[in-house]
Structures are given as C-alpha cells and as structure tokens.
Amino acid sequence: MKKLFVSMALLLTIFRSYADEGMWLPMLLGQQVYNDMVKRGLKLKPEQLYSANKASIKDAIVIFGGGCTGEIVSDQGLIFTNHHCGYDAIATASTVEANYLRDGFWASDKSKEISSKLSVKFLNRIEDVTKKVMDGLGNLSGADRTKKLNEITAEILKSVVGDDEFKSGVVASMFKGNQYFLFVYDVYKDIRLVGNPPESVGKFGGDTDNWEWPRHTGDFSVFRVYMSADGKPAKYSASNVPFKPKHYLPVSIKGFKDGDYSMIYGYPGGTNRYETSYGVKLATDITSPSLVKLRDVRLKYMFNEMKKDPAVKLQLASSYAGIANYWKFFDGETKQLLKYDVYGQKQKTETDFIAWAKGKSEYENIFSDYAKNYDAWTPYAKHRQYLNEGIFGSPALSQAASWMGLETQLLKKDYKPEDIKKAVAAADEARKTFLAGENKKSDQNIVAAVVAMFYSDVDKSQHPQGFYEDLFRTYSDIDQNPYKMFAADVFANSMVFDDAKWKAFMEKPNAADLAKDPAFKTASAFVKNYTANYAPKYTAFVNKNNDLGRLFLKGLFEKEPTKMNGTYPDANFTMRVSYGNVKSYAPKDAVKYDFACTMSGVAAKYVPGDYEFDLPAKYLDLYKAKDFGEYADKKINDVVVCFITTNDITGGNSGSPVIDANGNLIGLAFDGNYEALSHKLAFDKDLNRTICVDVRYVLWCIDKLGGAKHIVDELKLVR
C-alpha cells in the first residue's frame, strides 16, 4: 500500500475540528490545537499535558476496571471514579446485612478498606509502529489481512509485554487502519474500596434521569491503588502499601462560571464518526431498534423481581444497570440520527467524494462496493442482534452455550482424559459463578420472551432447523402459552440448575448426555445455526468494510487535507484529551438550560420511598440546615451538584477528570445529554454536552454526609 502523503502528526497540526469536537491523542496535539486550547483559556505548558519523560497529567489518569477511567487525587494513591464504575465492586462487597450499595460505605482508616477484583492500568509508553505493521501487511486484504494483522500484533506485544502479568499492551488502529500505535501499560491489581455514597445519592434519578439534563446524580466512588513494599505492581497482600504516583490532581473548590475552560482526559471506548450512510441506515433501521426492543423485555422481567425482594435487587443490581444504560442510549441515538438526518448528511459527503474519485482507480468504486457489501449482509443483521441480545440475553442460555467447547472435545475420537477433566473443572467453576448471580424467575420469563420474539421477528428461513417445529409439537396445549411451557421445562430439567444431574455428568462426562440437556440443546441450536450459516457472511462483511473504510479515509486525506472537519482518530479506548468550556445551552425554542444544578434541585425531586428519587434522612436534615461547609457556591449559598461542558466524550470516559485551566480537578464526567446521543456517529457542535458531577458535591458527600473528612484531608485542595 502507498504511504499517506502527509504524516498523521502533521495532519493533526493543519486540520481543524468544529468547535469543541475532538478526542485528541495527547502526545500528538500539534501546535495549532495547543494554541486553540490556550485561546480557550488553558494556562498549562505542553509538557504539563503530556510528557514521555517527566511527570504530567497523563500520569494521574488510569484505566479503571474493564471499561472506565479514574484519576489519582492524592500522594497516597487515592482514586476518584464514577459510582457506576465501582458499582459491581460495591455490590460484590455488600450483603443484605451490610448493604454498602444501599447505605453507603466509608473506610474509617486504610485497614478498613475493602479488597476487590479490580485492576487499574497506568500508561507507560506509546510507540508509533505503523511502518512495522504496514510492511508486514503489504498488499493483503480481507481475511488474509486480518489474519496477518493479528499475527503482527501478537508478535509486537510478545516482544514488549511477554508473560509479565503486571504489564499489558495493545496495538491500536487509527484512522481505520491507516496508522498504528503501540500502548504499553503498567497493571496494578491491588485496588481497594475506600468509600461510596448510598445508591440513592450515587444513582439518584435512576433510569428516568439517565442521559438527561438537568441531572442531580452524585455519580462517584473512591478507591485506592496499592503496590508492593518495594514500589512495584502486586496482587493483594496485607503487606502492600499505598501507591506513590508520579503526578496527582489537585482538587479545586474555588468554583467556576459559565464559559470557563474545561478539559477532560480519559479512555473513550468507541466512536465511528467516519461511518458511511450505509452504516447509519443499518443502525437506525435494524440493529439499534432490535437492541432496544430486546433489552426492554429483559429489563421488565428483571425489574419485576427486583422490586419484590431487596436480596434480588442487590443480586441483579449491577447487571440491570449495565443493560439499562445502553438501552436508553441506543433508543436516544436512533431518534437523534433520524431527527438531524445524519443519513442525508453522510450521503452529501459521499456524493462529493464519488465525484472527486471519478477516474482514480484506487477510489472510484469504493461506494458501489459499499452498497454491494451492505446488500449482502443486511438480510441477516437482525438475526445476529436477536442472537446476541436475545438468546444470549438469558444468563442461563449463555451459560449453557459456554459448554459447546466441552462438547467439541468430547466428540473427538482421540480426546485426552486429562483435557476433559480440566474442561469439566473449568465448567464447574463457571457454573458456580453463574448460579451466584442467577435469578431463575426473571431469567425463565426472559427465555420464554426472547424465543418467541426470535420466532416472530426473524425471517423464518433463518430459524434453527427443526427447533420451532419440535417446540410446537411438544407444547401443543391450546390453552397454554407454548413458549412459557417450553421455558418452564428448560428451567425445571436442565443440569444448569440441577446439582444432582450436574454431579452425575461431571463424574461421567459424555456428549450424548450434554446434547439431551434442554438448556444446552436450546442454546446450541441457535449458535450452531448461526455459526454454520451466517457467521461466515458477517466475517466477510466486516473484512470488506475494513478494507473499504481504510481506502475511504486514505482518499479523504488526499482529497482535502486542509478542509477536513477534524483529524482526530475515532475513539478506541486509548488515552485522549478533549477541551471546551463550561456552557449552558438552548435545546429547543423558548428553552434554555443553565450550566449547573444544585442540591435544591435534588430536594425538589425527592419522593419518599421511590425507587429512583428517595434520599437518606441525614441528607435531608443537612440540606434543611444548610450545612454545606466550605463546599457551597458562595454566590448562591447552595452546593452545585452537577454541571455541563462542551467537551467531546463517549463511553469509557465514565469517571474521567474534568480539569480547569490550571490543571485542577473540578468534577467527574459521567454522562451525555439526550439531545446529542448521536455522538458516536456524528458530533453536534451546538447541542453536545458532557454532564459532570461537581467535585464540591463529591467532597460534601464524603465529609458531611459520610462523616469521612479524613479522606478530604488527604487531598490537595485549591481554595
């Protein structure tokens, strides 16, 4: 492949984004972008933002858990992140008797901090490996290119990470495969829960307020990272000591005003802003509506059981929150994409590109090939979504599907007994974990619903052969719902739930008994049908899209290098920085939203005993007494709870620090606004807002509500 005629580093200095748009690689900001940051109000030097050799802001930013961001806020390794990022760890540490999720938790000293299974990653170094990757790929395309890329990536990672469990790395593709960077991380595995507010504060507003402004959620939790006594990453040990960071963020309680500079560091998970009109149409017509419909059903049956029993609520809390979050997101995204005709906007860009590409053999057929590729896959897109979000949306069926690897081994004529023993032992451990989190009543209803929905919504020619014929033949009572009868039978007779049957199987594992199990029989019918008939089509679709996307971006760079609407690469869970301002906005005619909301707004929303809007009695007492300490905004004699900025973020930025012009922490990013939920595919320069919890509210919750001022005393406060 020809090299890009302009280096990406140079592109980042000569291209300009729309106002506030951009998730920039901090090591490649470029002079023009930096100058614009200064124009907006930034007071820091470039080396304070990012330095490979000296302490900088990047050293205070961590990948928290599997998909969030956190920041170091003290010289003793204290981490601030979102409540929903620590949610699973908090729920895991809780019991019905000691319900930290419901009641909150604050460790009175370091010895009371609670260990977790979490880990955090610090960015160690970055290396441009484009030449090495491209030289290895040559002119390969499609599946051959994907295979070779995986081999090259594995080789690079092995050379820098090896078998060190305290290091990890990723070779990240930028600009749809036109550039590659190696990111190497130091991994710390002793992460302890320091504290969290009650769920009624940390999740105030629940699903009703999710993605909405104004928002009154205290979405934060506090953890600490530990290291070995000799200063190295380590697993949990009582002898470990608090981590000593290269840099930590001072915390400002000075406040801010509408228009002040704001900057966000973090790990945005994924955007696809160079998506084509074909991809937008597939999302709005099929994939997103299918996801929303299937998750709606799952949430309904989970909530029905959660509201009956506090133990079930605690059991399902983390799973429910995760499902609900993106149920509402994709519903809103679809509506915004249609409202602002993002499909039509993409088509205009593509028409212009097609006219430019005429006569250029490398580019002129890109969009006719896109059309063919989407035509080939679209008839099967709903099937794939109904498998992933429907059939696999049942924890029991998903668990049973995990036994398919065991079945493969059992069917081998020359299988080794020791391999089977090892596989059965692994399946046994997985089953124990599954049962600890399983709620049979809700799951049984989910199975009945999704099997029925697959039958009615997915093309009949794509159904697992014989599955529904057998179902209707077996459950033929016209007075009964066949799907409910079927699900009841599965849950009553599967060894997923029957300890005696499972024990007998483990003692004498064989493929015949596995195939008879009703849960496994159901899951494998759908999986084998997809794997044999539709997975190859999806793989071909993805490989072709990858090739076309790479060429499309390359062509765009050649077409108008000085007029591109932003040159930052799509988010891919690598460190990024975005900059903008604290800013109010007007979402529609005659309506204006202020830049901040307060505790008075929390109190106004309070509904005693409500699932989403209840509050602790102590909270209300403190509010009525105006006991705000030094955390009140003096201009209004109230505590600012949340505020909004124009920063460009996406999922993965949850927990990211919101930083002022001087490098001080002023809040934690945790949400976007409903009017701009199309942001994964298209940034809205007028309506896009990031919703952030104000750090002054965080400190008030810790100090006044939680009685844990010793944690506040650990911070470097800027007054």
Query: What pLDDT does 317 receive?
Result: 85
- Do 63 and 169 form a contact (C-beta atoms < 8 A)? no
Query: What pLDDT does 19 receive?
Result: 58
Q: Find the radius of gyration of the CA atoms of the chain.
A: 26
pTM score, two decimals? 0.89
Q: What is the largest CA-CA distance in the chain?
A: 78
Dihedral sign from CA coordinates of 566, 343, 291, 427: negative
According to DSSP, the residues that pair with 642 across neighbouring strands are: 597, 693
- Measured N-to-C along each axis, helices 310-339 and 83-93 cross at an angle, to the nearest 10 degrees, of 160
Host H or E run for residue 241: strand 241-242
Host H or E run for residue 186: strand 179-188
**Residue given tokens 């007492």 in the structure block:** 621
- Do 70 and 123 form a contact (C-beta atoms < 8 A)? no
CA–CA gap between residue 40 and residue 32 (Å, rounded): 12
CA–CA gap between residue 17 and residue 688 (Å, rounded): 14
Q: Which residue numbers in the chain have pLDDT < 50?
A: 1-18, 563-565
**Span 501-536, pLDDT tens digits:** 999 999 999 999 999 999 999 999 999 999 999 999
- Do 537 and 376 form a contact (C-beta atoms < 8 A)? yes
Contacts of 37 (CB under 8 A, 6+ apart): 29, 263, 579
The CA-based angle 247-248-253, given to 5 degrees, is: 145
The DSSP-derived string for 638-676 is: B-EEEEEE-----TT-TTPEEE-TTS-EEEEEEEE-GGG
The DSSP-derived string for 498-539 is: -HHHHHHHHHS--HHHHHH-HHHHHHHHHHHHHHHHTHHHHH
Q: What is the DSSP letter of 571?
A: P
φ, ψ for residue 165, nearest 5 deg: -70, -10
- Do 640 and 692 form a contact (C-beta atoms < 8 A)? no
Three-state secondary-structure class, residue 126: strand
CA–CA gap between residue 194 and residue 217 (Å, rounded): 20
Q: Which two tokens stand for residue 464?
A: 């697992």
Q: What is the DSSP letter of 16?
A: B
Q: Which two tokens stand for residue 622?
A: 């403190």
Dihedral sign from CA coordinates of 92, 93, 98, 103: negative
Host H or E run for residue 609: none
Helix-, strand-, coil-residue percentages of the chain, each rounded to 5: 50, 15, 35
The catalytic residues are 84, 219, 654
φ, ψ for residue 222, nearest 5 deg: -130, 130
Query: What pLDDT does 30 receive?
Result: 83
The CA-based angle 423-426-430, given to 5 degrees, is: 135
For β-strands 657-659 and 261-266, DSSP reports them as: antiparallel
Nearest CA to 219 out of 529, 519, 641 is that of 641
- Do 93 and 113 form a contact (C-beta atoms < 8 A)? no
**Residue given tokens 């509904």 in the structure block:** 607
**Span 460-514, pLDDT tens digits:** 999 999 999 999 999 988 778 999 999 999 999 999 999 999 999 999 999 999 9
**Residue given tokens 């006719």 in the structure block:** 368
Give residue limits of the domains in the chain. Answer: 275-361, 392-533
